[in-house]
Structure 1
């Protein structure tokens, strides 16, 4: 396993205007990059639970990374037969993506188990409860949460914008090597 953890790109609401899941203009700003080795990642522990705190806070451990808007990005591992709860702020929405393990139960203990490569979407402001019902295998998942921004989203292939006109312009820019796509050919 590599000592480096990589997040390709996450769009977050960096502005205070009221206009898509991706704020107008946010898709065109340069991303900020932060590199940290696994040994430097802040980690929270409790019995049978390890939480790498990439952004936000968990079990009293705060990420050192600044985000322009509050968000949570946690890499959680539950040992066999363990459980955890993570509070999500009332107005936030959240999802979990299961990386490894086939017996993760999310929500309530009577829910069905989900397998690796499954996305679980939670309601607003839920306390996320998770059980690893496996007797032998750890459960690892990402928990990501933030304030919903309620803007329109148009997606075409790898491009995500707010309107079809913006998508059309972005495709034109890509095909013509302009506006950030100069090295794309």
Structure 2
């Protein structure tokens, strides 16, 4: 946030970077490449966040039919386009700058496959759901790039996907209180962004180099995840004289609940996971439509 515009948070206590690591490439789906930062051995879980992938897919690679239960997925396209299909009959394509916020709830089976030529790139974040919401009906919130709130001020541009920044609020509803902000800072620009004190928060750098936390820190480059410590705001400085820095800032209210994960299923107890596996294998309790359904993308992959 520009200088002098942070009075609403009282005493400023900048968050420092307490952990930093490079998201290295790994294989996922069918032939897809992801840079996974949350959800791998370095960082299994960062309450309420389960997975963060920076994905890169070129047809025929992709993410064919697969299930989810107990959490939300947020897919944010950076380049190209991806088509989504599910067993409820929903189908749509999101392109660069578009967003899909999917609540898997009690169960969904879907596919996510490239929709155009070349390489499709984006981010997918998995957000855990509180126990009281894990078995709700699936739902979607989709926003085209042109409908995402954007503010530009003092060399700072932000796309407000969830939460609030530079006085602008997102239209997205989040069951787990969440902020998701896509910032670009011009050379020399400085940012002070409030973050609720009780929330966990992280930065993922997309392009360029930035100084996060305080001016004595070293610059951090693309594909790095930065876990932020305690405090109520983030300070960022682009000390470059020629290149912008782009990053996402994500924060969320910790759930503080037990977590048991088995692949694409995330519940609170082992008994609930066992029941989920049984439901999926027997096409019951939310997975009934999976018995007969195949996505068009999957059918095209059949030989």
Q: Name the counterpart of 1:88.
A: 195
RMSD of equivalent CA atoms: 2.5
SS of aligned partner of 1:115? coil
Question: Where do residues 24-173 of structure 1 align in structure 2 (5 Å cutoff)?
Answer: 24-68=131-175, 70-98=177-205, 100-173=206-279
SS at match of 1:35: strand
Q: Is the 8 A contact 2:102 2:141 kept in 1?
A: no
Q: What does the per-residue CA deviation read over 1:64-111, in whole Å, with 9 as the maximum and x for residues that have no partner?
A: 33445643221112223322111112222212222x224122211222
Q: 1:173, CA displacement in angstroms?
A: 1.7
Residue 94 of structure 1 contacts residue 124 of structure 1 at CA under 8 Å; is this kept in 2?
no
Secondary structure class of the residue paired with 1:30: coil
Does 1:6 find its partner at 2:99? Answer: yes
For the 8 Å contact 2:100–2:141, the answer to whether it is kept is no
Deviations 1:112-170 (A, max 9, x none): 33332322222244311122344444322221222222111122212211112212221
Structure 1 unmatched ranges of 5 or more:
12-20
Match for 1:23 among 130, 139, 147? 130
Deviation at 1:60, TM superposition (A): 0.8
TM-score (norm: length of structure 2):
0.51
Distance 1:113 1:31, change over 3 A: farther
Between 1:76-85 and 1:155-164, the stretch displaced more is: 76-85
| Structure 2 residue matching 1:113: 3-state secondary structure | coil
Bigger strand share: 2
1:174 is paired with a residue whose SS is: helix
CA contact (8 A) 1:56 1:71 kept: yes
Instruction: Name the SS of the counterpart of 2:139 in structure 1.
Output: coil
Equivalent residues of 1:4, 1:36 under 8 A apart: no
- TM-score of the aligned structures, taking structure 1 as reference length: 0.79
Give the C-alpha shift of residue 26 in structure 1: 2.0
Do the aligned partners of residues 28 and 134 (structure 1) sit closer, same or farther apart at CA in structure 2, a change above 3 Å counting? farther
Give the conservation status (yes or no) of the 8 Å contact 2:99–2:143.
no
Q: Distance in 2 between matches of 1:55 and 1:166?
A: 30
Larger radius of gyration: 2
